[in-house]
Amino acid sequence: MAIRSVNSSEENAVSAMSAGRPALRMGPAELVQAAAMARRFYLEGKSKIQIAEEFGVSRFKVARVLETALERDLVRIEIRVPAELDAERSDALRARYGLRHAVVVESPPEGEDESPDPENLGEVAADLLGELVAEGDVLGLAWGRSTIHMAAALDRLPPCTVVQLTGVYDAGTAERGSVEAVRRAAQVSGGEAHPIYAPMLLPDPATAAALRNQTGIARAFEYFDKVTVAAVSIGSWEPGISTVHDMLSDEERAHYASLGVAAEMSAHLFDADGRRVGRDLGERCITVEADRLRRIPEVVAIAGGARKAAAIGAVLRSGLVTSLVTDTSAADYLLTESQPGPRPALERFDPDN
């Protein structure tokens, strides 16, 4: 927010007339006093009581002078955010879905970024985590391209423990995927890292159960109930946009499609109304349970693009997400949907209250 004083009475008169107000003149003493009081209040941060004492007037007169200074354009208040942030859409999205935080960034120009999640989402999400995570927190990171981009962009985090919430897409890519994201976040914070060296999807429930009991993986799972802030990705049910979709066979994809799956988050499947479907898939996956996600005070989803817009809406309706980082393409769709769904951020414990 930028605030500046205007000290020209002629400019004040022109502005007043252009706004349809009578161009009432202020005498030089009034102008000087109003400008001085405005400077004390807006630029120097002094209270109205302090200003009243300095000028030997009542605080009520100070309030009237400050109001007059705004009305007559002696003071102009401009609200500015970085060009890549859309403050209006962000606030509208937060209010519509009852989110704690919603940050909307400008979508890349058409044709410049064809990736499912523009990389600038990860950069903005990294800054948001820098605000949300407090010293002593436990930060959980789920697998996803956007969370990996976010971890790479992290440059500040208070001391915290970082735990991996899902297995990796392919154990052979662990070094440049979820495991590396957890290590990177822990390095920035100076805290402990608890990665999971296991695939996200296993051939059968028995293999998945055996892996969950392995020492390193079991130790990571012990932290799931302690997670205070989580970062997750969202996928829509189509090739290249959902990790789980790409890991399944054609027969399995057809089966879950018949159940109405529209979105995927951390290997949990959701229909268009936000209801979980295909719960049997979770028995084969190394991932944080949906009930545990629901108990985490702050769950930040990072997802954007027109191709993911409907999936984002479905996951928001599940009530598992409290905050969202997205782009204008997805936001425009979400703001016109007729069914916002639950208000998760308003239903969970707020650590600040």
Residue 342 near residue 317 (C-beta atoms within 8 A): yes
Q: Which runs of consecutive H residues, i.e. helices, occur in the chain?
A: 9-18, 28-38, 48-55, 59-71, 87-97, 119-132, 145-153, 178-189, 205-212, 215-222, 243-247, 250-258, 290-295, 309-318, 328-334, 344-347
Give the residue carrying structure tokens 């425009």.
332
pLDDT for res 241 = 78
pLDDT over 60 at 52, yes or no: yes
Query: Is the pLDDT reported for residue 17 higher than 50?
Result: no
The band of 78, judged by pLDDT with boundaries at 50, 70 and 90, is low
Predicted confidence at residue 84, as pLDDT, reads 75
The domain made up of 83-334 has a fold known as Rossmann fold (3.40.50)
Q: How far apart are CA 335 and CA 353, in angstroms?
A: 29
- CB of 235 closer than 8 Å to CB of 245: yes
Residue 186 vs residues 70, 137, 166, 247: alpha-carbon distances, Å: 48, 12, 16, 28
Residues 151 and 141: beta-carbon distance below 8 Å: yes
- Domain 26-70 matches domain 83-334 at the CATH topology level: no
Average pLDDT, integer, range 130-156: 92
pTM for the whole structure: 0.74
Residue 319: pLDDT over 80: yes
Q: How confident is the model at residue 293 (pLDDT cuts 50, 70, 90)?
A: very high
Separation of alpha carbons 333 and 276, rounded Å = 22
When the candidates are 1.10.10, 1.10.150, 2.60.120, 3.30.70, the CATH number that belongs to 26-70 is 1.10.10
Q: Give the pLDDT of residue 85.
A: 83
Q: Quick check: 2 pLDDT over 60? A: no
**How many alpha carbons lie under 13 Å from residue 140 in its C-beta half-sphere?**
30
Greatest Cα pair distance, the chain, in angstroms, is 85
Higher pLDDT, residue 332 or 117: 332
Exposed e or buried b per residue across 227-252, where buried means at least 16 C-beta atoms within 10 angstroms of its C-beta: bbbbbbbbbbbeeebbbbbebeeeee
Q: Alpha-carbon distance 234 to 29, whole Å?
A: 61
**Sequence ranges of the domains in the chain:** 26-70, 83-334
Q: What is the pLDDT of residue 163?
A: 97
